[in-house]
Structure 1
């Protein structure tokens, strides 16, 4: 028994730590640590249960810290042992942060960070599979985890028994510009829906934005709060049940102090809490690189934004929130991103990104792939997902408007059950 193993709500949690190469093509660059947590039922006597590996969304976020026997994990544990992988650079794996990279030169930071994309996340999973002496295992990818799943299907298809994907089927060939053209349109549609439900919120937003243009306000970490940062809370519109909480935030954001308007501390604290780029810098610095194969992003979202002028707020004009986009000014303004600014520029200009997908392999796919594709997804465009799925035999899609991008978190037991059933049907036709 592992000394750090514990149980909760009938589930056994077993930690595993692995020393893996930073660069699988050059082991002289040293090793990093990758952490994964195994979940199994305490009552389970079947030592031969197959494995299901979970790939988290992001990039740059650790695996879920499961709390209770519920959600998609509950359904998975009926027939699998689950492995929650802290992707390299996150969670209990060797973490990427300005604290850990600040001592390096910008060039060294950038070179180090190039090894933290989906291809090496998948190589880490393969390393672990071999350590466990597992023949084949199933994978579940949420959002960016779905991108990792297609990379896995491209690189090591013979290692997989099933692939389940939720809200994460990427283009395997398009430029990042195409992705952001689509997501800016989706983001505008979410804005319109929000302001239609809460018409009074438009005036509230303009009042807050104009106040920020005319006054200095600081977040609890000492960072000056700007209109552009305020716009970024619109990222929450991509998940369910966020319109009303956003309205509540807006309606009492400003208070009067001795005749002068100020932003309330509670509001400013919540604005900081919503800046996940601060605690998960990979989410910012490698975000656009997840689309790059042999070309540079050159700050794609920033460039595309210029053709959607409504998102560039000016006093007296309508206010619109932005979504899941990364902009160069973030590395000038965000406290935890400032030490990575030069590295971010180097990575934005990097052209020789390695391929993440093997088109030929995916076109000959033999692994049952089951996908939940969300029709109104603000982060992963449905039409682009369908374009990719059309190229992959044995990939089946459940296209639904019942859920937002966070469907797996909102109703994971039902969603995974449906995907498993779809996978069994596909496998039966292949038998």
Structure 2
């Protein structure tokens, strides 16, 4: 095992062979990759670990390009472990090709092992391998917060402290309830966007009308439909996202002798801002992360059908959608198309196990500090408040200063404040 100097850090790579199904540990295995980070001046010190669970599901851990943000704060007292959660990054990644040799039932069984419960089991196996019975500290962002609450339910004895940013899920509410709430938050963000950028209203409507009347293809040859265009609303819920979307819209249409035409720069921008083709696990498991003893049955799609402002009709104002997955996406995205049957099978699956143990959480002994963003488009604030009331020893910093990705924008301050909150230190 070799240490490497990267971005002012010392990094070390770990690879672990772990069971696909922990109930059948003697059967098939998969590989989980983790990158350890350490301050160069403390590389020989015995430091505790802080394990980071990234957002998703279905995205690999960050690849640090420079020392800064929350990592800079964490390295003052920890070794940081960045896990590529199973199925992502370098951890036996999931894509259409990797699933091609499996039957549909085998694919469903395999994907079912990639939720927060098994991500936490992987972390526990890695902890035992690296430090034996010693506990460690965990930090979860967005979906990583789901993993933190699962960890607190499953193995609180393995934790010294826990931190959550932008990811306090409901312990009991269904996917239907989640999307009924978050669609309203998306509507709020649409209103704020068009109020802040009045010119965007006409731009978005003209683009939608053009896409409705013409066949427009992206650089990869796939059609840009109105529904696909609406998915750009995902960026309304992150820091700098509204600005990025506005700048994209303003250069979408070019004048020509035959009238307005689509700018190729806009088409390249759309591809860059929508990563469903490159991270198929996100689309496959986005609704199942909420499921406990019930099927999602395309919850976001069904909820949307009752909200006419999100169902574009020619001549009507366009409303962007948010972090939702719809069945037609498995027809319109090239890398999702081979997974269409699998997506429908997962949407119909009802025997998902429980993720959280309210009884254990009610007497949780682990100090937990959470940054709860009151204007979060992706996590319903009212449902977060319900969970906060059900978890013992959890201190919340409620703030409207940040959007969902606050830790990317101001990570040093956020983590520093949470550490002080957890340890009863004075806040400024």
TM-score range for the pair, normalised by the shorter chain length: over 0.9
Deviation at 1:257, TM superposition (A): 4.9
Asked if the contact 2:86/2:119 (under 8 Å) is kept, the reply is: yes
SS of 2:236's partner is helix
Aligned to 1:381: 380
Asked if the contact 1:294/1:351 (under 8 Å) is kept, the reply is: yes
Aligned to 1:77: 75
SS of 1:14's partner is strand
SS of 1:140's partner is strand
Asked if the contact 1:88/1:116 (under 8 Å) is kept, the reply is: yes
Asked if the contact 1:139/1:149 (under 8 Å) is kept, the reply is: yes
SS of 2:92's partner is coil
Deviation at 1:263, TM superposition (A): 1.5
Aligned to 2:298: 299
Measured in 2, the distance between the counterparts of 1:102 and 1:203 equals: 44
Aligned to 1:372: 371
Measured in 2, the distance between the counterparts of 1:287 and 1:367 equals: 28
Deviation at 1:414, TM superposition (A): 0.4
Aligned to 1:253: 252
Measured in 1, the distance between the counterparts of 2:228 and 2:257 equals: 27
1:410 maps onto 2:409 in alignment? yes
SS of 1:278's partner is coil
Deviation at 1:110, TM superposition (A): 1.8
Deviation at 1:45, TM superposition (A): 5.5
Measured in 2, the distance between the counterparts of 1:374 and 1:18 equals: 35
Deviations 1:83-142 (A, max 9, x none): 000000011110011232234333322221111100000000000000012410000000
Deviation at 1:289, TM superposition (A): 0.5
Measured in 2, the distance between the counterparts of 1:80 and 1:175 equals: 37
SS of 1:27's partner is coil
1:39 maps onto 2:37 in alignment? yes
SS of 1:125's partner is helix
Deviation at 1:424, TM superposition (A): 1.1
Asked if the contact 1:212/1:227 (under 8 Å) is kept, the reply is: yes
Deviations 1:270-289 (A, max 9, x none): 11112211111111010000
Measured in 2, the distance between the counterparts of 1:322 and 1:235 equals: 7
Choose from 44, 48, 51 the match for 1:50.
48
Asked if the contact 1:102/1:340 (under 8 Å) is kept, the reply is: no
Deviation at 1:404, TM superposition (A): 0.4
Choose from 127, 130, 149 the match for 1:129.
127
Deviation at 1:262, TM superposition (A): 2.7
Deviation at 1:298, TM superposition (A): 0.4
Measured in 2, the distance between the counterparts of 1:215 and 1:143 equals: 38
Choose from 79, 86, 91 the match for 2:84.
86
Deviations 1:286-309 (A, max 9, x none): 000010000000001011111211
1:95 maps onto 2:93 in alignment? yes
- Which region of structure 1 is more displaced relative to structure 2, 236-245 or 168-177? 236-245
Matches within 5 A, 1:199-278: 199-278=198-277
SS of 2:423's partner is helix
Q: TM-score, normalised by structure 2?
A: 0.97
Q: Which runs of 5+ in 2 are unaligned?
A: none
Measured in 2, the distance between the counterparts of 1:214 and 1:317 equals: 14
Asked if the contact 1:206/1:318 (under 8 Å) is kept, the reply is: yes
Deviation at 1:46, TM superposition (A): 5.5
SS of 1:192's partner is helix
Deviations 1:287-343 (A, max 9, x none): 000100000000010111112110001111111100000001101111110010000
Deviations 1:141-168 (A, max 9, x none): 0000000000000001100000000000
Measured in 2, the distance between the counterparts of 1:59 and 1:104 equals: 22
Measured in 2, the distance between the counterparts of 1:103 and 1:128 equals: 29
1:16 maps onto 2:39 in alignment? no
- Which region of structure 1 is more displaced relative to structure 2, 13-22 or 100-109? 100-109
Deviations 1:354-393 (A, max 9, x none): 1110111001100001000001000011111111010111
Deviation at 1:11, TM superposition (A): 1.4
Measured in 1, the distance between the counterparts of 2:352 and 2:251 equals: 46
Deviations 1:169-201 (A, max 9, x none): 100101111111111011001100111112221
Measured in 2, the distance between the counterparts of 1:395 and 1:27 equals: 34
SS of 2:224's partner is coil
Q: TM-score, normalised by structure 1?
A: 0.96
Aligned to 1:157: 156
Measured in 1, the distance between the counterparts of 2:181 and 2:27 equals: 39
Asked if the contact 2:251/2:265 (under 8 Å) is kept, the reply is: no
Aligned to 1:288: 287
SS of 1:221's partner is coil
SS of 1:323's partner is coil
Measured in 2, the distance between the counterparts of 1:130 and 1:242 equals: 40
SS of 1:147's partner is helix
Asked if the contact 1:10/1:43 (under 8 Å) is kept, the reply is: no
Choose from 117, 134, 140 the match for 1:119.
117
Measured in 2, the distance between the counterparts of 1:122 and 1:22 equals: 13
Measured in 2, the distance between the counterparts of 1:240 and 1:132 equals: 36
Asked if the contact 2:7/2:64 (under 8 Å) is kept, the reply is: no
